[in-house]
Amino acid sequence: MTRPIVGVIGSSYLVEDTYPVQFAGVSNLEAVAAVTGALPLIFPTSAGLVDIDALCSSFDGVLLTGARANVHPSEYGHDETEAHGAFDRDRDAVALPLIRACVDRGIPILGICRGFQEFNVAYGGTLHPEIRDLDGRMNHRMPPDGTQEEKFAMRHDVKLEKGGLFEAIFGTDTITTNSLHGQGITEAGERIVIEGYATDGTPEAIHVKDASNFAMAVQWHPEWRADQDSVSKPLFEAFGRAMRASR
C-alpha cells in the first residue's frame, strides 16, 4: 500500500524582504514523515493557485502549522490593531474554508498554534491578540533569546478533560508542553470543544464537535522533535491512524 499523503499548509514569506515564497517549517515535515509514516507535501495558499475541492481530493490528511502571521481580526468581527501583528490574508482565505471542508468530508486534520486559532475562527470563535495582557495569564510567547532547544523547552502543564479525546490519546489528564504563541482563544466557536487548559486558564487543546473523523488542534508545538517526545509522538500517531482508517 502506498503511503498516505498529508497536505502541509504553506505560509507567505518574503526572502530578503523582496522575493515572495511559500514555506513550511522542516520540523512539521519531519513529524509527519517520522511519526505518521505519511508523505508530507506542502501546498500553497496563494490566491488563485488552489481550490478547496482540489485540496480535499488530493490528500489523506491535512496539517495546519504554526506561522508568524496571525489570522486577520476581520475574520472574527474585530478591528485591526497594532497588537495583532502581521497577517497572511492568502492563508486566511484558504485555511478557514479548508477546515470546514475537511470536517464535512471526514478528512483527518490537525491544527498547530496558528492552525489551532484557525480552527476556532473557522467556527465563529474569537481571539485575543496578546494573551499575556489578560489578568492572571502568563507570557506564552517564545523566549526571545536562547538556542532552539531552549525556545522549544517545556514551559507549563496542560490539564485535559477526563474521558475526552485527548486524554484517550495521551493516557493521562495532565501533560507538559512548550509554549510559543502570543494570541489565544477568548470565545470558543460554535462547534469548538475545549478539552485542555494551561495552568493560567488559556485554552490549549480543542476538537470539532460531531466531526466524523480526526479534527483536533493544539496551541503548543508538538512538531518539535515529535518522534522523541512522549506527548507529541502519540498525537501524531493518532493522526496517522485516522488517515489509514479513512483509506
**Pairing between β-strand 215-218 and β-strand 203-208 as defined by DSSP bridges:** antiparallel
Q: Which of 57, 85, 56 is nearest to 72 (CA)?
A: 85
Confidence tier at 48 by pLDDT (50, 70, 90):
confident
pLDDT at res. 96: 97
User: If you compute the radius of gyration of the chain from its CA atoms, what whole number of angstroms results?
Assistant: 17
Dist. CA 185–CA 102, nearest whole Å: 21
CATH (domain of 167): 3.40.50.880
State pLDDT tens for residues 97-119.
Answer: 999 999 999 999 999 999 999 99
C-alpha cell at position 57:
481530493
Q: 203 pLDDT band (50/70/90 cuts)?
A: very high
**So what's the pLDDT on residue 1?**
62
How many separate domains does the chain show?
Answer: 1
Domain holding 229, by residue range, is 5-246
**Residue found by looking up cell 518574503 in the block:** 14
32 and 67 Cβ atoms separated by less than 8 Å = no
Q: Which residues pair with 23 in a beta bridge?
A: 11
